Structure 1
Amino acid sequence: MGGTQESGLQPPALTTRPTPLSDPMEALGKSTLWLCGELASPAARLHILDCRSRERYDSCHVARALSVALPGLLLRRLRKGKLSVRALLPPAPGAVLLYDEATATLPHPGRDGEESVLATLLRKLWEEGCTAYYLQGGFSKFQSEWPDHCETSLEVPSASSSPASAGTPVVGLRGLSLGSDGDSGPLSSRGVDSEAASPPSYPVQILPHLYLGSARDSANMETLAQLGIRYILNVTPNLPNLFEEQGGFHYKQIPISDHWSQNLARFFPEAIAFIDEAVSQNCGILVHCLAGVSRSVTVTVAYLMQRLNLSLNDAYDLVKRKKADISPNFNFMGQLLDFERKLGLAEGSPQFWNQDPGYQSTMVEPTTCSPGSMFRILQCQV
């Protein structure tokens, strides 16, 4: 429509439309037939992003589509220009197609002036120089016309799948930097990992005893000793536990790559229990992956959600304030959203209140005490 071609990925000429449009972005609509052709083309380099809720995506979605069900905190930052939308995309070249449930024409802001997720992403993509379109009629129209090109989350490779066999790009929150993980050959060579290449040279204290860092931090014996760290949670499949044979250190390794196919959430219970063990022994614990921005962040946020009863937004924001370069990929963010629902949490829940029976009726507050000190426990005033 509006002079666009139904084949190829050339952006429309927004300044020479044959018919007047209320918004130039409306010229960016693509038909379901066009998308079907792209899916059938072996040479297509189209990134397809599903802007619906996580539940709808899991139920059924366009083949090869990735979910972008953003937590409210991140969506607000995107709308305010505090987050680059280009940082959400794999570095490989190609156009982006967005879809929601039933968009026939590009939605305009409602009475409250707030754009839809689809409209926000489309606008930001073009503002930042990306070629992007939206699907006319949305998923409901595409599914009714081309059901063979739709799939459910049950068809996604399981957590036991080898990362080397999974080649779909990660969509992640990389802030202002793009990098690769490096602990898996095919992923690192494709440059699609969301972990930054130059992490900070020191671990960041999230709570007393709890530190977030990188592989480099886990290899620095002097730093570990200074911080009283004796427990190390290694969230990678193949980075070595360097001091395991020397004694004095307790290791747990979670064999997960920073890839869209990985189910990190199934390791949350044992990871949280391991952190609890370190705290109970009055020892510091370092949670690390390769760069300390995706996998280790996901585990740390999950711990804060369960132990401090924080919503995903609040837990993410707490870690973000301590370490600005965090960047969990969208798959892990989706798993944290599921974890939030499982815990029955919501944004704005009472902070630091813990309902775990093992903690009884206590309030847990992070303090600025030394690494060797314990949490400060306050009796809850009710």
Structure 2
Amino acid sequence: MEELREMDCSVLKRLLKDDGAKCLLLDCRSFLAFSAGHIRGAVNARCNTIVRRRAKGSVLRLEQVLAGDDEARGRLRSGMYSAVVLYDERTPDSDAVKEDSTVTVVLNALCRDCSSANVFLLKGGYDRFFSEYPEFCLKTKSLPSLTSQSSIESSCSSCGTPHHDQGGPVEILPFLYLGSALHASKKEVLDAIGISALLNVSSDCPNHFEGDYQYKCIPVEDNHKEDISSWFLEAIEFIDSVRDSSGRVLVHCQAGISRSATICLAYLMKRKRVRLDEAFEFVRRRRSIISPNFSFMGQLLQFESQLLATSCAAEAAATASPLLGPKTAAAAAASAAATPTSPFIFNFPVAVVNPAYLHHSPLTTSPGC
């Protein structure tokens, strides 16, 4: 780790206070940890385990560890940062950085593509910096534990309001909200959280305020015959368009449990490059009653494998040694055969479903979610 210098928390604090725009902070923790709290202005730098495993012995590219932030990559390559600071949860110094850690992967990518960058490791990581300078950190509002949230919902059952309509829409990302048809019918609720567009994932929920908000409909039913995956990319593009216009979108179906939750999970998997189990846990902690039906879970699992296959194919193409020459025709055919081509395969093995999905929130089988 000779290339990796160290930076004390006090030095980083001065940098951020005096000229934070000249300092690029790369958070090398998981998506869930980054979402729970991070240093202000930090970018989540990571890559999925499949790509890392396939690329063993090869250095990943900057595009792979900073796939979601074109601006940071451009500024980095232009030499606009005086310092690039990497941090994880709590690594005390550069001697303690492990060879297979994300910090090492990111460092190697920087050395490969931005060799002139001044790269530092934040001593003590996020834990130490947050304990000393919490005012320079963004922390997610504490979410209710799943147990206590379920208890609250149970205690409200006597009021006659279904669980899925209690409270209001939940924030998944700053521009992405998840809720029910009832939430979508209350203009005061939509205006209070700054909603500018609604993605209606149903064939029968009305669009109440056509003149006031931008609407898009995905006409699917909540049953085992629907191919919701064929709408994933279109839904993701719509959400992106709302985000790019500095708006906020509410994704809803009837109950905000199955169809709309499925779309939110697909968005996180595609744009945040996370596995299904991580996306599911992230959304479930914000809306504990989510429960895509069994067929939708299968389609999400296939979507995950398609995303991983695409990522691995790009990695293989980027890291192929020129000494080995191009792929043989047989190898290319085998690779193409391994990538799913049909939009929806229903007969996935039951064993691939994480038991956590079943344990915390039974998969719905009835329509209307």
Between 1 and 2, higher relative CO (CA 8 Å, sep ≥ 6) is seen in 2
| Higher normalized helix content (fraction of residues) | 2
TM-score (norm 1): 0.38
